[in-house]
Amino acid sequence: MMPGEPRFRRLPKTLAMKPVTTHALAAFFLLIASAPQSVLARQGLRPHVSYLIRVGPADQSGFTVEMRVRGAGDTVRLAMASHPEYDDRYWRYVENLSAEARGVALSVTREEDALWSVRAPGGDLYVKYRIRLLPQTAPTRAAWQPFISPTGGLVGDLHSLMYVVGATRAPARVTLDIPAGWAIASGLDTTNDPKTFSARSVELLLDSPIVVGQFRRWDFAVNGVPHTVVYLPQPNSAPFDADAFIAGVRRLAGEAINIFGKTPYRRYTFIYMDGADGALEHLNSVTIGAQSRNLARGLGDVFQVTSHEYFHTWNLMRVRPVERVGVRYRHAEPTAVLWWSEGVTIYFSDLLLRRAKLPVAEPTRAAHLESKIATYLLTPGYSRISPERVSLASDDPLALGDDFASVYLQGELLGSMLDLLIREATRGRRSLDDAMRTLSERFTPERGINGRDIERAVHDVCGCDAHSFFEAHVRGARPIDFDRYLRAVGLRAQVSWSPALGGDGGPAPDLRIYAINSPGDSAPRLRLTNPDSAWGRAGLHTGDRLISLDGRAVASASDFRPWLGQLRVGQTARLEVMRDGVVSTATVLITGYDRPTVRLREIEDATAEQLRLRARWAEGGP
Ligand SMILES: [Zn+2]
């Protein structure tokens, strides 16, 4: 959540004021309702929930959900879960929430934005509500958000399903009532009823999007484990090479499973959707926006996204930050290990693509690393702010001040260096693959990791001094000495600085700044990425509220980019900003800037051992 974001208007506390019936066992239920979940589980009394999702044939504005809660206590707390990454707050779209038991309507009280409570007389509790879907205004949808179109849609997971607080480890079922001729796919287990699916826990159900409609479907097995690929097209979908697409997805799955030796799931479903972009990982599935016209042009992009999101099945979903264990209805606490969960996932997704012989941006691992090191050196924030701090600040674009760093690049480079460290210490017998596999064997979704756990796994795999590395480069912000680690494979980084060039071959203007909209704040704010840029030298700071650009008032951050894009070296830009309530004008002389070029060179007198390790490393081998 952004600082200064307004709390959303709360609905009236009581949605329905109807008499609450009492029950002879009320005292007993009162007793067990306050017992910890484990006690209820031992007594076999924890609530079991089954869901029914009804999608009408002609209604694209929403769908209804019915819940049957068996074994409920006398007070049932219902909540909409908050996603730790994309908290879309679908509690805002819950309508017509009602509850009844024994044929009597019950009062539902709103306790918090995403939390309701019902006083129930015991026995089965029936809950019903509608999820309102917003009309699509942008050209594409976000791949993880529910929608319904005339030919299919996406429902289920935490965007649709409420849960009973304290009962998320109990098994659950969901049944779909959908238009005739539509099919269903998800990562959930099938049952005897083709429209009913089961999950070993409510938590897993809340993590399982369900695609419905007229989609294409392919099935294959890897090591005997079933995998399904689904593509939900739009009308007028462009044709693409489905055979090459499925073959590539299958190879990626095979390469990832090779690292771990087994899957953390019983079945897995890749859900691709036309007309959508973005992607979101889950334990048993993934939703990926894949516009057919892009697939028709080439499959490189979709493989890249798939490799990343699919690797998250292990690194982020199975091996997850301790702050992301369990289900919650309030926003998750930030975590210090995103550099590992996201950045090291980038490291592995590049490796999977190379091992699967699928397209990659740079032809060799050396060229890939050269480009990453150059990006690291260009922006001083990467070596000024520790990856743990960058991880903790990832929700707040203003938190790092005038410096910028992303966990993606920091983590990918740290992963690359840790890999070299392990190879050197074990004479090539082990690599970062082994550290990742060790974590996946030690941890489960119920037992999350912290930075010390990652350090321990690296240490146990390499038998080397992982502690100094983590002190210097993970918890601390010491610049990475690339040559120290590249030495393992007989390489060093040669860095040269030269003026950055634009498309016309002349010096590129220093445009290292952007603007962001803060919800609840009418004025967009500036975000510097380098305090030594032309913008920092002119006295501007991250967080400055933008009033006008060259005398023209600014309404939104989207006004900033076209204005920035027309600036040329030698021009003068005038920005009126407000800081601490004081308005001032900054005059910025647009200059060029230098950028580094990195080439990995062979060290003098590289040993046979270093050359042997390099050959293995360069081919992407473990
Ligand atoms: Zn990711």
DSSP states of 134-175: PPP-SSSEETTS-EEETTEEEEEHHHH-EEETT-TTS-EEEE
Closest of 263, 227, 252 to residue 305, by C-alpha = 252
162-179: pLDDT as tens digits:
999 999 999 999 999 999
Tokens read off for 225: 């484990």
Q: Are 355 and 253 in contact (CB under 8 A)?
A: no
- The Å distance, Cα 294 to ligand 1 centre, comes to 21
Mean pLDDT of 125-138: 96
pLDDT band at residue 6 under the 50/70/90 scheme: very low
Q: What pLDDT band is residue 82 in, cutting at 50, 70 and 90?
A: very high
Q: Distance from the CA of 349 to the center of ligand 1, in angstroms?
A: 10
Å from CA of 248 to ligand 1 middle = 20
Separation of CA 301 and ligand 1 centre (Å): 15
* 316 alpha carbon – ligand 1 mean position (Å): 8
Smallest CA-to-CA distance from 575 within 536, 547, 539 is with: 547
In this prediction, residue 31 carries a pLDDT of 35
Query: Rounded to 5 degrees, what are φ and ψ at 469?
Result: -60, -50
CA distances 553 to 66, 268, 523, 550, 584, Å, are 50, 51, 10, 9, 14
- Report the candidate in 598, 599, 617, 606 with the shortest Cα–Cα distance to residue 490: 606
Distance 346 CA to ligand 1 centre (A): 8
Residue 21 exposed, middle or buried by CB count within 10 Å (0-12, 13-18, 19+)? middle
Instruction: Find the 358 Cα to ligand 1 centroid distance in Å.
Output: 19
- pLDDT of 440-497, one tens digit each? 999 999 999 999 999 999 999 999 999 999 999 999 999 999 999 999 999 999 999 9
Give me ligand 1 centre to Cα 125, in Å. Answer: 38
Report whether pLDDT(7) > 80. no
How far, in Å, from the CA of 342 to the mean position of ligand 1?
A: 5
| pLDDT digit string, tens, across residues 265-295 | 999 999 999 999 999 999 999 999 999 999 9
Separation CA 311–CA 256 (nearest Å): 7
Q: CA–CA distance from 310 to each of 190, 251, 269, 282, 316 (Å)?
A: 22, 12, 10, 8, 10
CA–centroid distance, 521 to ligand 1, in Å, is: 29
β 225-232/268-273 pair status: parallel
Closest to 84 (Cα-Cα) out of 284, 334, 313: 334
State the chain's mean pLDDT as an integer: 92
309 CA distance to ligand 1 centroid (A)?
6
Neighbours of 583 (CB within 10 A): 11
pLDDT the model gives residue 425: 98
The amino acid at 404: F
Ligand 1 ion: nearby residues, β-carbon < 5 Å: 342
* CA-wise closest residue to 229 among 291, 304, 306, 157: 306
Name every residue whose Cβ is closer than 8 Å to that of residue 284 and which is 6 or more positions away in sequence: 186, 187, 188, 204, 207, 208, 265, 266, 267, 268, 269
Rounded Cα distance between 135 and 148, Å, is: 10
Closest by CA to 500, choosing from 469, 466, 534, 475, is 534
Interval between CA 314 and ligand 1 midpoint (Å):
12
Q: 431: helix, coil or strand?
A: coil
Distance of CA 52 to the CA centre of its chain: 28
Taking the centre of ligand 1 as the mean of its atom positions, its distance from the CA of residue 540, in whole angstroms, is 32
Kindly give the distance from the C-alpha atom of residue 312 to the centroid of ligand 1, in angstroms, as a whole number: 7
Do residues 534 and 385 lie in contact, with contact meaning Cβ atoms separated by under 8 Å? no
Q: How far is the CA of 233 from the centre of ligand 1 (A)?
A: 24
pLDDT class for 252, splitting at 50, 70, 90? very high
- 606 CA to centre of ligand 1 in angstroms: 37
- 2 pLDDT band, cuts 50/70/90, is very low
Residues in the chain: 622
Q: How far is the CA of 308 from the centre of ligand 1 (A)?
A: 6
Separation of CA 131 and ligand 1 centre (Å):
27
Query: How far does residue 31's CA lie from ligand 1's centre (Å)?
Result: 44
H or E segment to which residue 48 belongs:
strand 48-54
Name the DSSP class of 343.
I
Separation of CA 205 and ligand 1 centre (Å):
21
Query: 319 CA to middle of ligand 1, Å?
Result: 13
Distance in Å, CA 281 to ligand 1 centroid: 8
Distance CA 199, CA 211 (A): 16
Report the pLDDT value the prediction gives residue 217, as an integer from 0 to 100: 98
Centre of ligand 1 from the C-alpha of residue 315, in Å: 9
